Amino acid sequence: MRSQKKHSEKILVTDSVHSLLLEGLKEKGYTCDYRPAVRLPEVQAIIKDYVGLVVNSKIRVDKEFLDSAEQLKFIARLGSGMEIIDLDEAENRGVKVFRSPEGNCNAVAEHAVGMLLALANNLTKGDREVREKTWKREDNRGFEIMGKTLAVIGYGHTGSAFVQKMTSFGVRILVYDKYKTGFANPAKGIEETDMQTIFDEADILSLHIPYNEETHGLVEGEYIAKFRKPFVLINTSRGAIVNTQDMISALLLGNISGACLDVFENEKPNSFTEDEAAMYWQLYEMDKTVLSPHVAGWTHESKRKMAEFLLKKILTNFCPAVKSLS
């Protein structure tokens, strides 16, 4: 039986993770401190003892945090969003940063397709009415996706996974990625395009971009006004990419014909200000919306896959003999 080298290096896991990540790290001799309920102040007080940190979204790794992380060699992000980590500061300190968009991109793509189908066919409204013994067939007449023009902004792991699924719906697919080119596939109806073409021709707009200074509040009043016709908005990226009040105004005016939202500017209802409460209540009352609580990438399968990808990346970088996982 092959023995594993034992050492005292410790890894702090601050959120729920599939057990295979913990087991894989322990097998290589790491000590894993699994504390999914831990809060930021406590993490900052103890991080000096750890070489590795596994986070999801509640732990913000900024310069002040890194000042306390004397031994830190890597940060592993469950998921894809990197806005919680100061990447420049981590790089300056030689701290490697890993993420796992490969693990949940399919889940997000499936969720986006499901939300679009639910909106197009009034499924949430119809379901609610049937349960209340209300039978309104004409009021719930939907629209077909076939023949529409779908615009996708962002062609990374999630955007490309969503596009791949939508190629079977008989739609024209326009894709814009500011930092990527050469991905057009005419045989599948995938066109590489510019934003003006999207403004002119889109019936459906799906966002698959990271949240940062460049994308903060991207979809706001002036942006929405550039669209030549009403469009369905799908956002499974980050809530703060969309100005909520401007989106609501556009929904009321008919400039946005429907919205599928898995993410929101404020995802903590208990913290709503009076104005936010009124704004979100207005959104919640709209039948032209399908809403979910930031769960698009949160499937049983994605939990395992994110752990698998992170484990491989950590071990490949810090245990060079590891090339793949069985």
Annotated catalytic residue 267: yes
Among 157, 168, 155, 143, which residue's Cα sits nearest to residue 206?
155
- Region of residue 292 (phi > 0: left; psi between -120 and 50: alpha; otherwise: beta): beta
Annotated catalytic residue 18: no
The gap from C-alpha 256 to its chain's centroid, in whole angstroms, comes to 22
Quick check: 13 and 35 in contact, CB under 8 A? yes
In whole angstroms, give the CA distance from residue 205 to residue 21.
36
Quick check: 175 and 163 in contact, CB under 8 A? yes
| Active-site annotation holder among 238, 265, 301, 304 | 238
DSSP secondary structure of 100-144:
-HHHHHHHHHHHHHHHHHHHHTTHHHHHHHHHTT---TGGG----
Give the DSSP letter of residue 93.
T
Beta-carbon contacts of 131 under 8 Å, excluding residues fewer than 6 positions away, are: none
Among 145, 207, 220, which residue's Cα sits nearest to residue 176?
207
| Active-site annotation holder among 228, 294, 300, 304 | 294
| Active-site annotation holder among 23, 27, 144, 267 | 267
Annotated catalytic residue 93: no
Quick check: 290 and 115 in contact, CB under 8 A? yes
Residues with catalytic roles: 238, 267, 294
